[in-house]
Amino acid sequence: MMVIRPIRADDYPALYDIAVESGHGFTSLPVNDELLMRKISRSEHSFSKQVTQPGDEGYLFVLEDTATGEVCGTSALEAAVGLDDAFYHYHLGKVVHSSRSLGVYKTVDILTLCNDYTGVSELCTLFLRESRREKHNGRLLSKMRFLFMAEFSERFAERVIAEMRGVSNDDGSSPFWQWLQEHFFSLDFPTADYLTGIGQKVFIAELMPKYPIYVSLLSKQAQAVIGKVHEKTKPALALLQSEGFSNRGYVDIFDAGPTVEARVEHIRSVRNSRRLQVVIGEVSQGQPYLISNTQLINFRATWLLLQPDEYSEQVTIPADVAAALQVDAGDWVRVTRI
């Protein structure tokens, strides 16, 4: 059975392997021993912390195969971004150059450096190992975060974002960054990406152009990837769009990948989730559902076929699923349709 749980200190070797596998452009998991151990420690502290409003908490989860104990992927939530370090984006906007006397009217796209998403929550660090990309594992790893946010809403902001991985080549180079590097930086994309991942972001404020960039001045290759996602990120983007996420013109400052956003209350899996009381019994058929317990430190989530009654406050689940979720008859769980 595949089960989501909070990360533990003894998961470090698996997290390191995932960081290596994730490759260039996956900023939130740098291949750095100290940073990865710090992420685990911070997550453990966040789960144990008493919270009444979102702050500097980060919740890191792993997907575990309970039959083998193998960690197959990761997923995370940031409670509020940009409270300690500046959180940068480019916003794609427009300016109009016009002269009525000359009969000239020209609309020009511009990129403006901003910190507009300061204080919002963030979906991040989603990675599923290639060999485990089957059945509903990807959906479980991504969507279980919505169950967690629905259950512990006081820990998150009203708005949540997700930065989608932009276009980069196999060698880690980004067409968008190549143009920035040529004109403003002397750092290649993997180096800049790594420095951001380990928290060394001061170079952004020091070297980034302070004035809006006219998109028409960028190389054709850079223009072509603005707002586009990496080929392997397309399924993740489609999943979030199905939940109600949309792009409002914000893109990553390194690879120009899109950032999508939604109000938490409008996310489909949050809006449609239900809190139900456990009855333990056999379930012969049904529809695929995500299900989680309602515990914080011992949070568990999985997926299975269920037949919840629309008008009942109870749901029947098998004994092995109840054991995996660490719930007994009469305990509460939260469910939502896959």
Catalytic machinery residues: 230
Distance CA 82, CA 95 (A): 28
What ranges make up the beta strands (E) of the chain?
2-6, 58-65, 71-78, 89-99, 104-114, 121-128, 159-163, 213-214, 246-251, 258-263, 274-280, 287-293, 301-306, 314-317, 332-337
CA distances to 31, 150, 230 from 81, in Å: 21, 19, 23
Distance CA 78, CA 122 (A): 5
Distance CA 61, CA 144 (A): 10
Q: Which two tokens stand for residue 82?
A: 């940009």
Residue 132 DSSP code: G
Instruction: List the beta bridge partners of residue 277.
Output: 314, 332
